[in-house]
Amino acid sequence: MGTTSTTQLAIDGGAPVLQRSDYRNWPVFTDDDRRLVNEVLDSGIVAGGTAPQVAALEKEWAEYIGTQQALTTCSGTAALHMALAAVGVGPGDEVIVPAFTFLASASCALHQNAIPIFVDIDPRTYCMDPAKIEAAITERTKALIPVHIQGCPADLDPMLAIAKKYNLAVIEDACQAHGATYKGKKVGGLGDIGCFSLNNFKNLSGGEGGLFNTNSEFYLNKGILIRCFGDEVDEVSHRRVYNASILGYMYRNQELPAAHARAQLLHLDENNAVRIANANYLTQELAKIPGIIPPYCPEDCTHVYFMYNVRFDPKAAGVDCETRRFRIAIEKALYKEGVLVGQWQTMPVPQQDLFQSMLGYGGTRHPWAINEAKGVTYNYDTAQFPVAVGLCDSYTVVHGVHAPNGRELMDRILEAFHKVFANLDVVIAHADDEIYPGADGKLYGAG
């Protein structure tokens, strides 16, 4: 290959900087996974709300987060729904949620016949902006759901103060932030209930599953009931009595996912340290390239980089191009260089069809109709969330910061960024090429 092949962009016919084989997949399996999964097979016990792996995971996870109790669930979505049910959110109640998150942070409210009210995000952390919460509170507001987005802790102190002032429950959606800390304390242990996901993509994998953390005996007991049909268990015989005392669901986890999660928990801190080292290195180097805005970590916080988010600013890059088009062009050029990049959420959650149509249960106007009948109006116009809209125009996710990837891969990724940013005219000329950036499922253990 001549010298031109290394400088000519791959999108323009040159050789790519890196290959898919330069990336190693997540999650990282060790002998601990094999040992604990074998324990399950040897035990002959595969399920049960108080089965040995499930019970051990609950104890170990409560200790890790620093809460008195934890429950395992079949998903993070289930944990969130359980949490809203446990704090008593019901029909017509309103629940405050950030505009930039995953759908489940908001659909858990709908599943309790409650109505999500979205609040715009902070322009640096991308978490819910505490300064915008009070304006969204009404006499119907029952709960706040701060989301520690992409591994970055939300600014909880002002949120906890607002919650206290208005008597709201705080349910932390920590599904993307296992091990992240806010002022020295683990997130997911600071609100009334903290919820985590154990899906294969997340910093702590169980394959699938979720966790529900609380210091409240009351919420714990409610959670136990809700997790298993609302069914009471006889205190003396410990047998289910098949008499549901409240409305519940079927949100139990099982032994194999719990065993896998316990093995992963043994390595969570070291795997988070790899993400942090990779992210900090990318941030230090990418900050030198005009037009790239690396992620921000607030002081007194630990960001655990579930996702490594970068934004692009065409003006700062010295290019006359609309932001969204610039981001798409950069994504395509990087992807052709072999960099696994691509957006996660492509729009703020309230922009999704479900909220724009407000058609819920059975394709009807429920649950919104509960309050509309009383003259309340709802509006998910995205003009209310300019920061989230701006983020969705300008950001992409750089995949591969997870262990066991390290400095070598980060250097190749940086080389590709430099190559692309040194040839922005060519990049923009290819903005309409039919290229579909993103990561394959295998990178995160998904089939």
In the numeric block, which tokens belong to residue 415?
């080389």
Cα distance between the two ends of the chain:
36
In the numeric block, which tokens belong to residue 242?
């098949």
Which stretch, 171-179, 221-229, 246-254, 310-318, contacts ligand PLP (CB under 6 A)? 171-179
Residue closer to ligand PLP (CB basis): 330 or 391: 391
- Does 76 bind ligand PLP (CB under 6 A)? Our answer is yes
Order the strands of the 169-173 sheet from edge to edge: 69-73, 210-214, 193-197, 169-173, 141-144, 94-98, 115-119
Q: In what helix (H) or strand (E) does residue 57 lie, and over which residues does it extend?
A: helix 52-65
Shortest spacing between CB 131 and ligand PLP, in angstroms = 21
Shortest spacing between CB 139 and ligand PLP, in angstroms = 27
Shortest spacing between CB 379 and ligand PLP, in angstroms = 24
Q: Which of 132, 202, 222, 332 is catalytic?
A: 202
Cα separation, 204 vs 265, whole angstroms: 7
Shortest spacing between CB 288 and ligand PLP, in angstroms = 30
User: In the block, which residue shows the tokens 């006499």?
Assistant: 139
Residue closer to ligand PLP (CB basis): 69 or 105: 105
Chain-centre distance for alpha carbon 430: 32
Which stretch, 70-78, 181-189, 246-254, 321-329, contacts ligand PLP (CB under 6 A)? 70-78
Which stretch, 97-105, 111-119, 123-131, 263-271, contacts ligand PLP (CB under 6 A)? 97-105
Residue closer to ligand PLP (CB basis): 197 or 309: 197
Cα separation, 446 vs 433, whole angstroms: 28
Contact track, ligand PLP, 102-141, x by CB under 6 A:
x-xx------------------------------------
Contact track, ligand PLP, 184-223, x by CB under 6 A:
-------------x-x----------x-------------
Cα separation, 251 vs 157, whole angstroms: 31
- Report 322-341 residues binding ligand PLP (CB under 6 A): none
Strands 181-182 and 301-302: antiparallel
**160-194: b (≥16 Cβ within 10 Å) or e:** bebbeebebbbbbbbbbbbbbbbeeebbbbbbbbb
Contact track, ligand PLP, 145-164, x by CB under 6 A:
--x-----------------
Cα separation, 396 vs 343, whole angstroms: 5
Given a contact cutoff of 8 angstroms between Cβ atoms, the answer to whether 200 and 166 are in contact is: no
Among 53, 107, 125, 176, binds ligand PLP (CB under 6 A): 176
Active site residue 164: no
**At a CB cut-off of 8 Å and minimum separation 6, what does 411 contact?**
none
Residue closer to ligand PLP (CB basis): 176 or 423: 176
Helix H segments across 182-267? 217-227, 255-265
Contact track, ligand PLP, 19-58, x by CB under 6 A:
----------------------------------------
Residue closer to ligand PLP (CB basis): 428 or 439: 439
Rounded to whole angstroms, the maximal C-alpha distance in the chain is 80
Q: Which amino acid is at 95?
A: V
Q: Which amino acid is at 393?
A: D
Number of residues that bind ligand PLP (CB under 6 A): 14
- Report 271-300 residues binding ligand PLP (CB under 6 A): none
Residue 399: CA count within 13 A, CB half-sphere: 26
Cα separation, 183 vs 189, whole angstroms: 12
Residue closer to ligand PLP (CB basis): 127 or 341: 127
Active-site residue list: 202
Binding site for ligand PLP (CB under 6 A): 75-77, 101-102, 104-105, 147, 173, 175-176, 197, 199, 210
